Amino acid sequence: MPSVVVVGAQWGDEGKGKIVDYLAEKSDIVVRYSGGSNAGHTVVVAGEEYKLRLLPSGILHPGKLCVLGNGVALDAKVILGEIEAINRRGIDTGNLRISDRAHVIMPYHKALDKLQEEYKGASKIGTTQSGIGPCYADKMARTGIRVCDLMDEEIFAEKLKNCLAEKNLLLDKIYGAPGYDFAQVFAEYMEYAKKLRIYVVDAGFLLAKAIAGGKKIMYEGAQATFLDIDHGSYPYVTSSNPIAGGVCTGAGVGPKSIGTVVGVVKAYSTRVGEGPFVTELSDETGDHIRDRGNEYGTVTKRPRRCGWVDAAVIKYAARLSGMDYLAITRLDILDQLPVVKICTGYSYEGQRIDYMPASLKELAKCRPLYEELPGWQTDISSAGSYGELPANARRYIERLSELSGAPLGIVSVGPGRTQTIVLADLL
d(CA 366, CA 279): 10
- The yes-or-no answer on residue 231 being catalytic is no
Q: Considering only CA atoms, which of 137, 135, 144 is closest in space to residue 105?
A: 135
DSSP structure string for 265-292: EESSEEE-SSS--TTB--SHHHHHHHHH
Q: What is the DSSP letter of 385?
A: S
Selected catalytic residue, list 13, 113, 149, 310 = 13
Q: Considering only CA atoms, which of 53, 162, 34 is closest in space to residue 103?
A: 34
The helix/strand/coil state of 409 is: strand
**Whether 186 contacts 156, CB under 8 Å:** yes
Alpha-helical segments (H) within 95-251: 107-120, 132-140, 147-150, 153-173, 182-196, 203-212, 246-251
**Whether 113 contacts 127, CB under 8 Å:** yes
Measured in whole angstroms, the distance separating CA 288 from the mean position of its chain's CA atoms is: 24
Q: What is the DSSP letter of 367?
A: E
- The yes-or-no answer on residue 288 being catalytic is no
**Whether 414 contacts 422, CB under 8 Å:** no
**Whether 289 contacts 306, CB under 8 Å:** yes
Per-residue buried b or exposed e for 303-321, using 16+ beta carbons within 10 Å of the residue's own CB: ebbbbbbbbbbbbbbbebb
Selected catalytic residue, list 21, 28, 41, 61 = 41
**Whether 188 contacts 182, CB under 8 Å:** no
**Whether 35 contacts 8, CB under 8 Å:** no
The burial of 376, by beta-carbon neighbours within 10 Å (0-12 exposed, 13-18 middle, 19 or more buried), is given as buried
Catalytic positions: 13, 41
